[in-house]
Structure formats: C-alpha cells, structure tokens
Amino acid sequence: MEFQSCFPIWDQLTKAQQDRILSGLAFRQIQKGTLIHNGSTDCAGLLLVKSGQLRAYILSDEGREITVYRLFDRDICLFSASCVLKSVQFDITIQAEKDTELWVIPPEAYRSLMEESAAAANYTNEVMAARFSEVMWLVEQVMWKSMDKRVASFLMEESAIEGGNRLSITHETIARHLGTHREVITRILRYFQSEGLVKLSRGVVELTAGERLAELGND
C-alpha cells in the first residue's frame, strides 16, 4: 500500500503538486506508546496512517487525560500540523496505541497545497468538520451521560476495534480514555461483574453480555 493510494485527493492534484508532496514526504515506523505530537506548539506535519492505531487526547492542568478520537488505517490527522491551521488553537497530544506505520507531510508543503488547490482546501475543511463533530460528541457524552454508560460504550467500542470480547486493558487505561480516576472505573467494573456483564482478571476485561452492555451504553 503506497501513499498515493491512501491520500484521498491524490488524483486531483497536478503533477507539480504531487512531486512537491513526495519530495518532502517522510515515512516513519512508530513503536507502541511513543508520543508523536505534543500540544499546539508542536508542528510535526500532517500524519497519514498506513497501518496501526493512534490516540488523540487532551490533557488537563491536573494531568488528567481524555481521548478525543482514534486514528486507524488511511486516517489523516490535521491537528498535528497546528501551524498550518492558524485559526485553530487546539492543544492535543497524539500517541501510538499500537505499533504504527505512517507518512508525515511537511506543514510547509501542505500549506502551499491548500493555497493552490481547491480540492485540498475542501478536503481539509471536510476533515476538520469531522474532527470537530467528534469533539462535540465527546462534550455531549461528558456533560449528559453517566460514567457507567460511558464505560459500557467504551468497552463495546474496544471490543469492535480488537475484534473480540477479551480485552487486554487495565482500569487505569480506561480511566485515561474517559478522563476520570482509576478508582471510579474499578468500582463500575466491579458492579458490571456483579451483574454478569463482564469478568475481571488482572489486566483483562472479558465481556460476557455484550448485548446488555450495548443497551446500557445506548440508553
């Protein structure tokens, strides 16, 4: 799988624009746990995932994390090139959740591309709109949905991502994703276990009643 087949507007660019992107393009192999981008002062460039999984999250002044969105194969991240999007100030941290291969488009090359290409400008706006929709969805979840329902939704999401009901995940990790304390997650998971929804063991959460969990998360 090459960059050209993963970049959605490649065929709408001129030969000169394509050559400019390729000349500055960098390919990186990122190990799980690596911080790729750290806050609005970091302008790493645009990230296009070839394979793997990235997590974008925000960090409070107290050091609490909350996941905003994930990036999977063929997904692109614009917030990692904050200097290109000068009207958008969004402190976001991006970390590899799994070993990941990705391309980095230099911010200067993409800025000039947006200035020249209507297709690039429109595509950028579409991606930004989709990301901000995810931010607004998160705000609604935090404001209006109880933590037990958010945990149920998260577990179902993880099950879909991993393709199974046995999740190798700690209570601390779940807490970081949802912006809460580990003790809160432990209490909820123990309640879920007493209700027959999950089975807990060290570093593992096994979903034993997926349909009921889904109903709880969607309630």
Residue 80, pLDDT score: 80
pTM for the predicted model, two decimal places:
0.85
CATH of the domain spanning 3-143: 2.60.120.10
- What pLDDT was estimated at residue 88? 61
Contacts of 121 (CB under 8 A, 6+ apart): 114
* pLDDT for residue 89: 63
Q: Topology of domain 145-218, per CATH?
A: Arc Repressor Mutant, subunit A (1.10.10)
Residues 166, 155 contacting (CB under 8 angstroms): no
Domain spans, the chain = 3-143, 145-218
Spatial separation of the C-alpha atoms in residues 181 and 151, rounded to whole Å: 12
Q: How far apart are CA 166 and CA 163, in angstroms?
A: 9
The per-residue pLDDT string of the chain (219 residues; one tens digit each, 9 = 90 and over) reads 799 999 999 999 999 999 999 999 999 999 999 999 887 666 778 999 999 999 999 988 788 899 999 999 999 988 887 677 666 666 789 999 999 999 999 988 998 999 999 999 999 989 988 988 988 989 888 889 999 999 999 999 999 999 999 999 999 999 999 999 999 999 999 999 999 999 999 999 999 999 999 999 887
